[in-house]
Chains A and B, each alone.
Chain A
Amino acid sequence: MPQRMLPEPTPETKHFWDGCAEGELRLQRCAACGGKSYFPPRPFCPGCGSREVEIYKASGKAVLYSYVINMRPRPDMGTEPYAIAVVQLDEGPRMMTNIVNCPQTPEALQLDMKLKVSFSKQSDAITLPFFEPA
């Protein structure tokens, strides 16, 4: 199986990927507009344009928001069907991920089920944030 497609961090996203490698899910929030969290990473607030933003460690808690189960696996993803999911983090933002330690079936994957982050080291540089039933 070919190496899984992995992200190439940029200066603006490096803190997120460094966080995953250190076992932390890092989000950003804006000081100017009431501490609203946002994702994906960028060095300013997409709500108001302020550069006064901070990086913080998120709880890692989420619910399953929506998903598909891909029946024709991408070559680097193995041979079994897998869910491509979007989770809603407790802090507000949504992110794409995979759901692990759970059968990849419509019966097992119920919308709004509680999840928690589960880090998976892929290479020396990259650890991916997956989610599993909480």
Chain B
Amino acid sequence: MKQKSIAVVGAAETTKMGKIPDVSVIGLHADAALNALKDAGLKPTDIDGVACAGLSPVELAHYLGITPTYADGTAVGGCSFMLHLRHAAAAINEGLCKTVLITHGESGRSRVGAGGFGRASSSLMGQFEMPFGPAGPPTMFTIPVLRYLKTYNLTVEDLAWVSVIQREWAAKNPRASFKDPITVDDVLNSPMIAWPFRMLMCCLVTDGGGALILTSADRAKDFPQKPVYVLGTGESVETPMVSQMEDFTSSKAFRVSGKKAFGEAGITHGDVDHLMIYDAFAHLPLYGLEDLGFCKPGEAAAFIRERNTAIGGKLPLNTNGGGLSYMHSGMYGMYALQESVRQMRGIAPAQVPGAKISVCHGVGGMFAASGTIIFSNEAP
């Protein structure tokens, strides 16, 4: 896409976050959408493009009273919103629509109006993975990690540091679910979920949602909020089965998506002021830092332990506390995007002073898919 041709002009999360037993899934989508519309000074009838995952864009459009000329139901897991944003940018540039609303809502904890988790027993995953006992993401997303640790001579303590440092960021965020400091010992003594993963290396399970509104950069300056420009985008998919990922020490989808986004944005890694890497589990920031090219293979653990991604470090990472401490409703990508937008607007609870470029990197499924968005707050 053309750099800075599109901007985020509305962004908001659900009114409440964490445990919301009195709102259904579609209600969370709508609550986030109405908050984002208010943020942008728009009414639902001003929207002519819709995108969402988990819910059909038909359900979303009808519920909100929108008659779109563009609808995107891309559903590739937690990074679907990065892909929605990327597709919306292309659609607006192509003239398919003018103003796109992307929503997310998930009753991950309370399960109000939420569907079940399952795969058809005739699918490849149903045939060649499910019979061997996977019980959700903590037992699947984590499968490559022992190979990663052995390849780079790392230990579970290296995973624990990821959780510890992200909790330091969460402490600065009033909306974070967990704010109390933790130590490496705390992480290594928390209950074992699936060796080598302990509870504090796994994300939260919460309720919430978020929404974004995009339009062309030339219209963006007429909106009430400071526009956040889209500088570059990337996406890719690899495999629906974690057992079939090409390289257990690196995600092909991460590498392809990240390279595409950096290429479009025309920036180097040294230009990046702020970074979000979807952290459903503690190993994901390690894979992300390496696959996006911020660290050489095997060096991300030391990079984090040496506090480069911590408060005051040169590459602030997951400044909302991440999926490990802030919130994680199931498809966390929307909350990573919200934090990038807050940082670019200069209003984040743990604001990175003077940040001009933010990279937001998402994962979908168990290393199945990826999307990367690079934002800038400087006008084209």
Binding site for B on A (CB under 8 A): 4-10, 13, 17, 39-40, 65-74, 77, 81-82, 84-86, 94-98, 106, 111, 122, 126, 128
Contact = CB atoms under 8 A, between A and B. Distances in A.
Interface in B90-140: 120-122, 124, 126-135, 139-140
B131 A84 contact: no
A51 B192 CA distance: 46
B133 A84 contact: yes
Nearest to A128: B131
8 contacts: A7-B126, A7-B128, A8-B126, A74-B133, A84-B139, A84-B143, A98-B133, A122-B131
Given A86-B243, A98-B133, A5 B121 contact: yes
Contacts of A17: 127
A98 B243 CA distance: 13
B62 interface: no
Given A67-B143, A84-B143, A98-B133, A106 B122 contact: no
Contacts of A84: 132-134, 139-140, 143, 194
B241 A40 contact: yes
Nearest to B144: A66
Given A68-B142, A86-B144, 10 more contacts: A7-B122, A8-B127, A10-B122, A65-B248, A66-B248, A67-B143, A70-B134, A70-B139, A94-B243, A106-B195
Interface residues of B, number: 34
A10 B150 CA distance: 37
A71 B134 CA distance: 11
B147 A66 contact: yes
A7 B121 contact: yes
Contact of A13 (B120, B127, B193, B243): B127
B135 A70 contact: yes
Interface of B: 120-122, 124, 126-135, 139-140, 142-147, 150, 191-197, 241, 243-244, 248
A128 B121 CA distance: 14
Contact of B146 (A8, A77, A81, A111): A111
Contacts of A128: 131-132
Contacts of B126: 7-8
B128 A96 contact: yes
A68 B195 CA distance: 5
A117 B139 CA distance: 22
A7 B127 contact: yes
B214 to A, nearest CB: 36
Contact of B131 (A7, A68, A86): A7
Contacts of A86: 143-144, 243, 248
